[in-house]
Chain A
Amino acid sequence: MAQVSLRRVVKEYEGGVQAVKGIDLEIADEEFVVLVGPSGCGKSTTLRMIAGLEEISSGEIAIGGMVVNDIPPRDRDIAMVFQNYALYPHMTVYENMAFGLTLRRFPKDEIRRRVENAARILDIGELLDRKPKALSGGQRQRVAMGRAIVRDPKVFLFDEPLSNLDAKLRVQMRVEIKKVHQTVRTTTVYVTHDQVEAMTLADRVVVMNQGIIEQVGTPQELYHRPATRFVAGFIGSPAMNMIPARLENGAGALRLRLPGDIVLPVPAERTQRYAPLAGGEVLFGIRPEHLTEPKNLDRPNIATFEAAPEVIEPLGMETLVIFSLQGNEVTARLDPAVPAERGRKMPFAADLNQMHLIEPRTGRVL
């Protein structure tokens, strides 16, 4: 049983630079939580504070109900997997995995049993006698995970473990990590800058930016109900379109006036929610997959407009079309069968059921 709690945790470096600005986070037992954000957002620092590799400037971190602020890493009962694997180069795979148990004076039989068990889970049984330099990147990453698993710790910490692998191996290891978690059910905190990794692995994703937590939620929540402009733009690929617009009030209904005099009606059920902003400037957010060729026009809140594509990116299963609304680039996601031609006006449909309105000043999504 190991939940991890962060209460008003601050990390301030010499010179007053705050890497982490007082974050609160509760991670439940057996949960897989991913910290995600751009570089410099404080996610790695947060992980290293949980590990005890960085001292915390103020606040409180508790693992399994015990405050660990002053407890050294070795007594926190955690295991960590590093981006560059950090395998001991002079030890064999077996010795690497056994090292932590040897230091803790586990009986030899128990060490062997645990190492062999972890090797079986990770399918590295035949590598046990090799030195790390004789392993490929993927194999090294497995050994690094094995070293964590044998310890049977309260918490697994992963610091961008897949960043050094090539794209194909990364996908494979991602699945592997998820499987391992499903097998051992150890509370896991995982740091990455890759939002796809975050979405695919996490029970809950923590989006961080500039030392604060922007939003915590399940991947679905973050995708469909982003709380801030940052989360809306960070989660999802290609990123959500954000178009400056004016929210107008006319004849009891709200409508959005986009650059290029495109007017879109705001769905009636959102009138009340958006009413306070009427008459002001807003950011109209819509994901590329909700800007398509005209389809489902019989459903409510589908609006059409015309625009001329500037760039066409055929990806095979879909075609991305980029057009400009008075200098604002907008990406739409079309069926590959739809003929699109650079510079020739064509119709688009916007699914306004999926729209977001962002208050430009606060960056809050309404």
Chain B
Amino acid sequence: MSVTAAAEATAAPAAPLYRKVGSIRRERRWALIGAYVALAVFVVFFLTPPFHMLMTSLKSSAEIADLSNNPWIVQSPTLENYWALLNHGSYPRHFLNSVIVTLSTVAITMVISLLAAFALARMRFWGSATLATGVFLTYLVPETLLFIPLFQTIGSLGLYNNLWAMVLLYPTITVPFCTWIMIGYFSSIPKELDEAALIDGANHFQMLWKIFIPVALPGILAATIFAFTVSWAQFLYPMVFLVSSEQMVLTVGIVSDLIRGDTFQWGMIMAGAIMAALPPLLIYAFLMDYYIAGLTAGATKG
């Protein structure tokens, strides 16, 4: 009996491999719905703090202090916080300091990183590979540890509480990463391109200037944006090394000037933060496509 049953079971037509036939269109629609839902959650999650900042910056101190109000809604919008920041106090000074430090840092970073990356990626010399790894390793040392020995260094240079100390310090964070990004990008440029340039009569500087920089522009912009963002948002070093208000940059200026003891001037803090967030926002908006292309190109081709 069991033998017969087994025989029948084998003889029975095999069940179809796929029970129901799918539809490409339906699958695509569900994938899209999933993507939209996930993205919506992320957008809400990440935009909530800036939205709260914006709302608070448009409120008067009295409205902020009134706990009976809905914190997400502005009853009587006012620009008085912005007005006060721009016309009284040190905010414009801090803004200018941030601009000076950031632009200097970006300039220094790009010059050093471009030359270093070109040398490490292209001019094969003894130890260049080890050096390239070493450059990246320095980036891995956290600044929360570095600032202690740096305190002595900066002190001995007489740069304590001096804005220009930041121009000296920020590149220690930006140069390794930017160099590393550009090593990857330069390595993805075919070797024949520089050989063709060599034969065409270019020296190494012309090769960098006329071939590598234009060809690697997306990567260079990505590195520039990174250097800009890091310098603009740097908090620890100015916090440690700058004490007087006229030397401060925005990040520490806002919290040190607008928080007096236990009094938080929330409206002005938020207005200051909103205005401080504008320059990176604008740069991202204009260069976003380049930024993404730059970050990914080195990774896939290198």
Chains A and B come from one and the same complex: yes
Question: Nearest Cβ in chain A — how far from B95, in angstroms?
Answer: 36
Residue interface bits B195-210, CB-to-A below 8 A is 1, else 0 = 1111111110010001
> Which residues from chain A contact B201 at a C-beta distance below 8 Å?
74, 100, 103-104
Pair B198/A82 contact, Cβ less than 8 Å? no
- CB neighbours of A239 from chain B (8 A): none
Could you say which residues of chain A place their CB within 8 Å of the CB of B190?
Answer: 84, 86
Q: Say yes or no: is B214 at the interface (Cβ < 8 Å to chain A).
A: yes
Asked if A103 and B202 sit within 8 Å, CB to CB, the answer is yes
A51–B193 touching, CB < 8 Å? no
Q: Which residues of B contact A103 (CB under 8 A)?
A: 200-202, 206
Chain B residues with Cβ under 8 A from A83's Cβ? 192
CA distance A85 to B195 in the complex (A): 11
Q: Is the CB of B215 within 8 A of A78?
A: no
A86 & B196 in contact (Cβ 8 Å cutoff): yes
| A85 to B190 CA separation, bound complex (whole angstroms) | 10
**A53-B198, A147-B200 known; A82 and B215 CB under 8 Å?**
no
Which of chain A's residues has its CB closest to B195's CB? A53
Number of residues in A with C-beta < 8 Å to the partner? Answer: 24
Please tell me which one of the listed residues B192, B202, B210 contacts residue A82 in the complex, with CB atoms under 8 A apart. Answer: B192
Main secondary structure of the interface of A (DSSP, over half): loop
Question: What A residues does B196 contact at CB under 8 A?
Answer: 80, 82, 86-88, 147
Which of B192, B198, B202, B215 is close to A90, meaning CB atoms less than 8 Å apart? B215
In Å, the complex CA distance between A53 and B197 comes to 11
Main secondary structure of the interface of B (DSSP, over half): helix
In the complex, whether B239 has a CB less than 8 A from a CB of chain A is: no
In the complex, B119 has a CB within 8 A of chain A: no
The distance in angstroms between the C-alpha atoms of A341 and B202, with both chains bound, is 64
Q: When the two chains form their complex, are residues B199 and A88 in contact, meaning their CB atoms are under 8 A apart?
A: no
Residue among B206, B215, B217 making CB contact with A88, cutoff 8 Å:
B215
Q: Please encode chain A, from 83 to 98, with 1 for each CB lying within 8 Å of some chain B CB and 0 for all others.
A: 1111111100000000
**Is the beta-carbon distance between A79 and B199 smaller than 8 angstroms?**
yes
A73 at the A/B interface (Cβ < 8 Å)? yes
- Inter-subunit contact A86/B195 (CB<8 Å): yes
In this assembly, does B211 line the interface, its C-beta being within 8 Å of a C-beta of chain A? Answer: yes
Bound-state Cα–Cα, A87 to B196, Å: 8
Q: How far is the CB of A291 from chain B (nearest CB, A)?
A: 44
The docked-state distance in angstroms from the alpha carbon of A255 to that of B196 is 57
Contacts of B195 in A (CB 8 A): 51, 53, 73, 80, 82, 86
* Contact (Cβ within 8 A) B192 A100: no
Which residues from A are CB-within-8-Å of B210? Answer: 99
Query: Contact at B192–A74, with CB atoms within 8 Å?
Result: no
How many Å lie between the Cα of A90 and that of B197 in the bound state?
13
Query: Of residues 176 to 235 in B, which have CB atoms within 8 Å of A's CB atoms?
Result: 190, 192-193, 195-203, 206, 210-211, 214-215, 217
Residues of A within 8 A of B215 (CB): 88-90
Considering the complex, give the chain B residue whose CB is closest to the CB of A78.
B199
A72 to B203 alpha-carbon distance, docked (Å): 10
Contact A74–B193 (Cβ < 8 Å) = no
Please determine whether B193 and A73 come into contact, CB atoms closer than 8 angstroms: no
Residue of B nearest to A148 (CB): B199
A72 touching B200, Cβ below 8 Å: no
The reply to whether A86 and B193 contact each other, CB–CB distance below 8 Å, is yes
Give per-residue flags for A45-75: 1 if the beta carbon is below 8 A from chain B beta carbons, else 0.
0000001110000000000000000001110
With A74-B203, A103-B206 as given contacts, are A88 and B193 in contact (CB-CB < 8 Å)? yes
A82–B201 Cα distance when bound, in Å, is: 16
Expressed in whole angstroms, the minimum distance between the Cβ of B185 and any Cβ of chain A is: 14
Q: With A79-B199, A103-B200 in contact, is A88–B192 under 8 Å at CB?
A: no
Minimum distance in angstroms from A186 CB to a CB of chain B? 14
List residues of chain A with CB within 8 A of the CB of B197: 88, 99
Question: A337–B202 Cα gap in the complex (Å)?
Answer: 61
Q: Contact residues of A with B, CB < 8 Å?
A: 51-53, 72-74, 78-80, 82-90, 99-100, 103-104, 147, 151
| Subset of 18 A-B contacts with CB under 8 Å | A52-B198, A53-B199, A74-B199, A74-B200, A74-B201, A80-B196, A83-B192, A84-B190, A84-B192, A86-B193, A88-B197, A88-B211, A88-B215, A90-B215, A90-B217, A100-B200, A103-B206, A104-B201
* B interface residues with partner A (beta carbon < 8 Å): 190, 192-193, 195-203, 206, 210-211, 214-215, 217
Q: A74-B203, A82-B196 are in contact. List 9 more A-B contacts (CB 8 A).
A: A74-B199, A74-B202, A82-B192, A86-B192, A88-B193, A88-B196, A90-B214, A100-B199, A103-B201
